[in-house]
Chain A
Amino acid sequence: MSLLTINNINKAFGGVKAINNVSFELPRGQLLALLGPNGAGKSTCFNMLNGQLKPDSGSIKLEGVELVGRHPRQIWNEGVGRTFQISATFGSLTVLENLQMVLLSRDKKLFRLWTPAASYYKEEALVLLDQVGMADQADRACSVLAYGDVKRVELAMALAHDPKLLLMDEPTAGMAPKERNQLVMLVKKMVIDRNLSVLFTEHSMDVVFEHADRMIVFARGELIADGGAEDIRNDPKVREVYFGSGKSFEAA
């Protein structure tokens, strides 16, 4: 059985059909890229998966559990981690505290009022930070980090509760090319080591074609292609969406 099963989801904003009857599946241990030009519906699809938006109809199931209508918080509880297009971390906490927050939340210890937080999960948090190469900056505030580093902290946070599914909205936006590859290689390693499933959107085609196991392409709210790198590269519909059919020039 697939980890994630999306069945006929729809979402309209006023008269605009942002997502039109989209269905796809994501098996365990796969790095799936979600592609498409601006306005194709990638972010809308993402926000429905993590519960920030509710689809007008259709179903989203994680190992048979219906996610539609649930709060982001509950979806996280089901084992879905996520990173944001514009990284969201807790700026006034240290890098270490950011990780400790996730671990405290995982074990439902957020309402403890007495023992200092510093004494909780320090080792575990450092191990997680070490995976993304941020252990040496553990004591710095997140608000003073370089953007690439913030993205790495965010990734560590998203992975801290050992999710089954990781959603990443443009994980490498704003990063230097070298950093990009490192980050995606790291994610790829998790996919292999932990049998993690990842769904990510990405504008850098280098990153996508280098690392993704499979790709799906959106255009105007519809899913137009699904397959491996070679299939997508040669798909006429994908070419049309990205490069146009050339007819606009013929007419003139």
Chain B
Amino acid sequence: MTLSGLLVQLLNGLVDASSLFLVASGLSLIFGVTRIMNFAHGSFYMLGVYVAYTFVSHMGESVGGFWVAIILSSLMVALLGALIEIVILRRVYRAPELFQLLATFSLVLILQDLALFIWGPEDLFGPRAPGLTGSIEILGRNFPQYNLVMIVIGPAVLGILWLLLNKTRWGVLIRAATQDREMVSTLGVNQAWLFTSVFALGCFLAGLGGALQEPRIPANLALDLESIGTAFVVVVVGGMGSIPGAFLAALLIAEVKALCIALGTIHIFGIDFPMSKMTLVAEFLIMAIILVIRPWGLLGKPQATARNDHSAEPPLRPSLPIFKWCTAALVLALVLVPVFEETFPYAQIILVEIFIAVLFAASLHFVMGPGGMHSFGHAAYFGLGAYGAAILVVTWKLPMELALIAGPLLAVLGALVFGWFSVRLSGVYLAMLTFAFAQIVWSIVYQWDDVTGGSNGIFGVWPSDWLSSTTALYYLTLSIMLAGILILRRILFAPFGLAIRAARDSSLRADAIGVDVKRVQWVAFVVAGLFGGIAGAVYVFSKGGISPEAIGVGRSIDGLVMVLLGGVQTLFGPIVGASIFTWLHDSVARETDYWKAVLGMIILLIVLIFPAGIVGTLSHLWQWIKHHRPLQTKKVEASK
């Protein structure tokens, strides 16, 4: 490595830091005031790139035209953000944290299909910035002029934001609202417009971050999820709601990544460490380290204890006989499905998929509902179980039966390590740390070609002969799913189930009666990891293989959506949620190219209309009917 090479890499780091900061500062600002973790922030960034592509292509031939186009694009994104805030987000501010996330996630789906509809699926290379197409020489190496501008823009925006927040009335209101929004509204400030303006400003920054990338990267549909992961990391590392913190974190992360690239492959003790491959993991490792040392980020403050959304949850009661009979009937119907193979040839295949999803969702629900820990990276355990089983069969030549048992143990191992760190945090920070661990697993799988097959994955993982028919696999999956659900349910009613719910309801009280809260939560993590891992192992054999896409962010999010769709407060919820989600996914995807948008709309409707999930809403309805009927009859009697 030469000095000039290092210098150029460090400068590249500054460029990346600027663009990271723009996106992350908006996210942090929005979170600080509205307490919403805006999953769609990456989508606004992506739209920024696309809109800028269109504007710059039309009017960006002159220097002035280019910069006007950039600003116009950012304003367009801000306008869209404001509109979305008014129409949708205003309705979910009072909803539990998870529902807000779900609502913003549905926006991710809708906005992605909107971009697909307007700009099409191909990558779009935009024109470069006029007047800045050349490069300058630094120690004998070429460095693009446009990148120099990018380096300046980051600190400039930081300065402007600082002035805005510290020297204007609006800024004072924002800072006040960040600390105590109830107090601000008591002082007669119209919160609604304050929130809208903050959201619009945040979207403007995301749009600007995207628009400025237009000359550097092609506009594509993967930008949203790519950028949101990193932006979350920056916000969490910097401290939620802290703008200077976001800047510091962006700088730290971008420079560490640049260093990894500059170092190339290093040799320690005769082993090659490809540091340049570390870039995918680097940011998440930094986040994991920072969160363990400083749980509130570099410049963040401890969060006020989150509203406990669970304490009003009804106690778990043993099921009524009628419910047990219905379940038995349903199971019987499922057992009989293969008999009607000729009438419904596709039924077994989709049902196997549903069973796996149900087990996955139930394991996530275990840690999320009764455990009260919102895991945003449950795909990690699914992935570890899946890859564990696949590697055992393909590389170690173990029989399937053994791999099915041993594979999930890898997930247990993962849960032991990740859980130990995660239970030290709570709320959004816990969610982000679990997310980081899932990303680390994904990155390792994606890059460790020798063991995991890299981006191609591992294929040719077929079940043993006696299980190779569709029907045999169907019964295997059905019985594993049923056993998993019954065991998880059993645990929830056992002393340990009581303990995790108790630890969730009040850690203060749990401490005061001698409960080791962290250990209880840790074990809950491991139990959930085990069943998530089993779901992954079964998945491998049902599909004949596994690839990194199947264990990415999408899988974690799908799990969350399933659980919330069904309702987090009931045990039956995740089962219904997973079934409906998988079925919808399958049937909608076959009908339209825009299934994501349809799915997004459905999720949005559910969040707005049934905030307790499907099963939750039905059971509320049932309670309501039960309590109101006798009342009416009493009234009738009284009037007589």
Contact = CB atoms under 8 A, between A and B. Distances in A.
Our verdict on whether A and B bind, yes or no, reads yes
23 contacts: A71-B511, A72-B511, A76-B513, A77-B514, A82-B512, A90-B501, A90-B505, A90-B509, A91-B310, A91-B505, A92-B310, A92-B504, A93-B501, A104-B499, A105-B515, A112-B495, A113-B491, A115-B495, A116-B490, A143-B311, A154-B509, A160-B513, A161-B514
B502 A101 contact: yes
Interface string A152-169: 001001101100000000
A73 interface: yes
Contacts of A154: 509
A71 B511 CA distance: 8
A146 to B, nearest CB: 15
Interface stretch (B173-181, B216-224, B312-320): B312-320
B520 interface: yes
Given A117-B493, A161-B513, 19 more contacts: A77-B514, A88-B506, A89-B506, A90-B502, A90-B510, A91-B311, A91-B505, A91-B506, A92-B315, A93-B315, A93-B505, A101-B515, A110-B495, A110-B520, A111-B523, A113-B491, A115-B494, A120-B495, A154-B509
A101 B311 contact: no
B511 A117 contact: no
A105 B514 contact: yes
Contacts of A161: 513-514
B315 A97 contact: yes
Contacts of B516: 73
B490 A73 contact: no
Interface of A: 50, 71-73, 76-77, 81-82, 84, 88-94, 97-98, 100-102, 104-106, 109-118, 120, 141, 143, 154, 157-158, 160-161
Chain B CB within 10 Å, residue with most, of A73, A101, A104, A111: A101
Nearest to A106: B514
Contacts, number: 117
Contacts of B490: 113-114, 116
A81 B520 CA distance: 21
Contacts of A101: 498-499, 502, 513, 515
Nearest to B370: A92
Contacts of A160: 513
B508 A88 contact: yes
Contacts of B312: 91-92, 143
Contacts of B493: 116-118
Contacts of A72: 511-512
Contacts of B315: 92-94, 97, 141
Chain B CB within 10 Å, residue with most, of A71, A72, A91, A161: A91
Interface of B: 310-315, 318, 490-491, 493-499, 501-502, 504-506, 508-516, 520, 523
B495 A50 contact: no
Contacts of B514: 73, 76-77, 105-106, 161
Chain B CB within 10 Å, residue with most, of A109, A116, A120: A116
Nearest to B313: A92
Contacts of B520: 110-111
A109 B499 CA distance: 10
